[in-house]
Structure 1
Amino acid sequence: MNLLSITLIGVGLSIDSLAASITTGACSKNIRLKHILKVASFMAFFQGTMPLVGWLIGSSFKSIIEDYDHWVAFFLLLGIGSKLIYDGIIGSSDEMNSNPTKNMLLAGMAIATSIDAMILGIGFGLIEINIWLAMLIIGSTTFLFSTIGVFVGEKLGNKINKGIEIFGGIVLIGLGLKILLEHIYY
């Protein structure tokens, strides 16, 4: 597999992380560079290492994992999205109760948005590919997209503010539903 193909795969895999990062930025109050880098690092780490996990699992488990990966992603994003909606409903307009840059929330979003990368890694095990180069490109692309996403989300969040947690929760649930429906119908 050539460098261009791996880069295009990295861009495709980064789109879900971009959406989750925009939501994180929009739901965060007073976000700083360290928060942006933290979100981008979580997303890049999981998106970059999941192909290795899939590659190590091997093609013999592909049918088992494919049967459930979309459900895992859906329920993780449904849970995180529901919490954001709940916090948005019970919280006041000046103070956001949830902190989407908490480690557990970030890990949940990062895992949910990188399950496809693990399945792709299983496919990588069937072809000749430099898995380390693929991980580096996928992780770097995700880091870049997530950094931009948090920044854009933070700018949108400051302008919209009221109800942004509800909107963010809806976006994450929608992302989970998209993953679920893509796997069920395609």
Structure 2
Amino acid sequence: MSPFAIAALAFSMSVDAFVVSVGRGAALGRPRYSEALRTGAVFGIVEAATPIIGWTAGIAASSLLEAVDHWIAFGLLGAVGLHMLWAALHRSADAEPPKASLPVLIATAIGTSLDAMAVGVSLAFFDVNILVIALAIGLATFIMSSGGMLMGRLISERWGRIAEVLAGVTLIGIGVSILVHHLRG
């Protein structure tokens, strides 16, 4: 796989994490740089691990993983998206912005990275260096997620609640899209 193809794959795998990070950054009000880096690190680590898991599963038993991965993605992304919608719509205007708990952050990262796991399954059938690809995906996701949090920080004053609603709807949409794509074959 060429370096250009690896970079294109890496950044395409990190787009959904970027969108969610913009929404989370906006919802948190003015997240600190440490929070942006923490978000980037969690998303990057999970996003780097999932293609390796998918690649390993693809070598071992791809048909078993394909049978349930879309339901897992739909459930995780739908639950986190609904939680974000509920939080955005039920928070009073003068309330403190929500804190991003680590379990919610990890669940979101897992939900947005299941497409990378599916890519890992497909890469099992090619002669590629999965470690290089996984590291590229993780690094791109770290950069995109950290940047997304900081971008969300810039729009938080005026558009925070709207961005959180859009991020929640986006997560639900990604989950539904994954489910529909797999059910249609």
Task: Report the TM-score, using the length of structure 2 for normalisation.
Answer: 0.89
Contact 1:87–1:96 (8 Å) recurs in 2: no
CA distance in 2 between partners of 1:10 and 1:158 (Å)? 31
Cα offset for 1:164?
4.7
Letter in 2 for 1:131: I
Contact 2:70–2:182 (8 Å) recurs in 1: yes
Contact 1:88–1:96 (8 Å) recurs in 2: no
Partner of 1:151: 150
Contact 1:77–1:112 (8 Å) recurs in 2: yes
| Residues 9/85 of structure 1: CA separation in 2 closer, same or farther (3 Å cut) | same
Cα offset for 1:77?
1.4
Gap regions ≥5 residues in structure 1: none
Cα offset for 1:178?
2.6
Letter in 2 for 1:34: S
Q: Provide, for residues 53-99 of structure 1, a one-character-per-residue CA deviation record: whole Å limited to 9, x for no partner.
A: 11222334222222321221111111112122222233211224632
Partner of 1:28: 28
Contact 1:48–1:138 (8 Å) recurs in 2: yes
CA distance in 2 between partners of 1:146 and 1:136 (Å)? 15
Within 5 Å, give how 1:9-158 maps onto structure 2: 9-96=9-96, 98-99=98-99, 101-158=100-157
Gap regions ≥5 residues in structure 2: none
Cα offset for 1:42?
0.9
Q: Provide, for residues 88-129 of structure 1, a one-character-per-residue CA deviation record: whole Å limited to 9, x for no partner.
A: 233211224632x21111101110111111121122222111
Runs of 4+ in structure 1 over 6 Å off: none
Contact 2:30–2:156 (8 Å) recurs in 1: no
CA distance in 1 between partners of 2:162 and 2:128 (Å)? 45
| Residues 168/125 of structure 1: CA separation in 2 closer, same or farther (3 Å cut) | closer
Partner of 1:173: 172
State the secondary structure of the residue aligned to 2:14. helix
Cα offset for 1:163?
5.1
RMSD: 1.9
CA distance in 1 between partners of 2:181 and 2:30 (Å)? 35
Contact 2:27–2:97 (8 Å) recurs in 1: no
Percent sequence identity is 29
State the secondary structure of the residue aligned to 2:23. helix
